[in-house]
């Protein structure tokens, strides 16, 4: 049977054909609204968790200084802790996005990305400021957790809104709601750990700080990957040409890694330097105190209000057993 040129075969054309090659030119159209396949690079996922742990460790270290420092430097320690935590969360998010792979090119709007980072740092600052008190009530802890959790949610979905690609992002509402609950829960765990691990002086011991950083470093990314599970990406056939504006995902991932690393290292080095200065000052004070206490000469310290301290040699010279007794002997 001769092949019909320029036309497709129909059922009547196939009658009587038992053998031979049959070419069908009219194929049913495939659905075009199926979600794009996606995957995660396990190495980059692991890196995002490591960044979250490092940020948590530095933040716990700096917030401990907020508790101990009652002077003008307290505000700067709070800003440093908020920057460490916020930048760490932001870096973790975009490293996680670098780990996320779609079959279409992905770019990011620069201004929206910057807005997402600002949201993370601002929320961290508000939340960490709730830990600046010696006594923290459950209501204060809950308020700080909600603030930080909503800030993390805002950072994540603002970052997702920065995506520019040939795909339309849709969300499953119930998983979005779950991601909000996870974010608030993770924030509560983090703030509770930070307040629970500190000792009487406000310092978080290194061992507890390390354990807290591991717990937080594993908990913080859980919100990100829960929220990513809520997202589906549908092909956008209206976009005929690929996006050329904005940052490429690989470049943005590199920026996130570099920014997070430098900020965390910078704050850690600054904290270590201040710690060494504090230890040197404390050692000097201890030496002077030793000389003051062991001196055989009577030494009395005065201020604008009069006598306020003396060494043991002074007490012996006046035959007093305590400073209070010596003070009562002073003329009014």
Range with lowest mean pLDDT among 28-42, 54-68, 204-218, 282-296: 28-42
- What's the pTM value of the predicted model, to 2 decimals? 0.66
Cα 7–chain centre separation: 63
Signed CA dihedral, 210, 67, 186, 173: sign only: negative
- Average pLDDT for residues 282-303, to the nearest whole number? 72
Please give the pLDDT value at position 181.
Answer: 92
For residue 294 the two structure tokens come to 């062991």
Asked if the model's pLDDT at residue 284 lies above 70, the reply is: yes
CA dist 220 and 57 (Å) reads 13
Predicted pLDDT at 180 = 92
Q: What is the mean pLDDT of residues 149-167?
A: 86
What angle is formed at CA 52 by the lines to CA 49 and CA 55, rounded to 5 degrees?
A: 155
Mean predicted confidence (pLDDT) in 222-249: 72
When pLDDT is averaged across residues 86-110 and rounded to a whole number, the result is: 83
Instruction: For residues 145 and 57, give the distance between their C-alpha atoms in angstroms, rounded to a whole number.
Output: 18
Token duo for residue 282: 């404390």
- Alpha carbons 272 and 41: distance in angstroms, whole number: 34
CA-only gyration radius of the chain, Å: 32
5 pLDDT above the threshold of 50: no
- Selected residue with higher pLDDT from 16 and 32: 32
Sorting pLDDT into bands at 50, 70 and 90, what band is 178? very high
The predicted pLDDT at position 7 comes to 46
Lowest mean pLDDT among 80-84, 116-120, 271-275: 271-275
C-alpha–C-alpha distance, residues 111 and 102, integer Å? 23
CB 235 within 8 A of CB 166: yes
Least confident of 75-79, 90-94, 187-191, 251-255: 251-255
Q: Give the confidence band of 16 by pLDDT, cuts at 50, 70, 90.
A: very low
> Which tops the pLDDT comparison, 196 or 330?
196
Could you give the CA distance from residue 255 to residue 113 in angstroms, rounded to a whole number? 11
Is-contact 132 74, C-beta < 8 A?
Answer: yes
Task: Please report which confidence band the pLDDT of residue 22 belongs to, taking 50, 70 and 90 as the band edges.
Answer: very low
């Amino acid at each position: 049977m001769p092949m019909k040129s320029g036309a497709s075969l129909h059922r009547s054309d196939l009658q009587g054909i038992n053998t031979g090659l049959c070419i069908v030119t009219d194929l049913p159209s495939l659905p075009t609204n199926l979600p794009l396949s996606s995957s995660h690079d396990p190495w980059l996922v692991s890196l995002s968790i490591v960044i979250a742990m490092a940020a948590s460790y530095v933040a716990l270290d700096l917030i401990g200084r907020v508790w101990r420092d009652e002077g003008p430097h307290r505000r700067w320690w709070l800003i440093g802790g908020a920057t460490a935590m916020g930048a760490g969360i932001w870096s973790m998010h975009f490293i996680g996005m670098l780990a996320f792979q779609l079959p279409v090119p992905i770019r990011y709007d620069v201004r929206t990305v910057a807005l997402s980072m600002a949201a993370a740092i601002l929320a961290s600052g508000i939340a960490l400021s709730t830990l600046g008190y010696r006594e923290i009530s459950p209501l204060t802890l809950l308020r700080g957790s909600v603030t930080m959790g909503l800030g993390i949610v805002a950072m994540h979905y603002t970052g997702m809104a920065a995506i520019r690609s040939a795909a339309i992002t849709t969300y499953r509402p119930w998983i979005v709601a779950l991601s909000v609950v996870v974010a608030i829960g993770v924030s509560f765990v983090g703030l509770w750990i930070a307040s629970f691990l500190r000792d009487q002086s406000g310092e978080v011991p290194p061992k507890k700080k390390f354990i807290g950083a591991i717990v937080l470093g594993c908990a913080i990314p859980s919100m990100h990957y829960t929220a990513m599970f809520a997202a589906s990406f549908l092909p956008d056939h209206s976009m005929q040409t690929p996006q050329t504006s904005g940052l490429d995902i690989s470049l943005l991932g590199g920026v996130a890694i570099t920014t997070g690393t430098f900020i965390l290292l910078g704050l850690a080095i600054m904290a270590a330097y201040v710690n060494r200065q504090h230890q040197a000052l404390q050692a000097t004070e201890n030496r002077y105190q030793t000389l003051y206490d062991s001196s055989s000469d009577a030494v009395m310290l005065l201020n604008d209000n009069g006598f306020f301290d003396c060494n043991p040699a002074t007490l012996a010279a006046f035959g007093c057993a305590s400073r209070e007794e010596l003070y009562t002997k002073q003329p009014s």
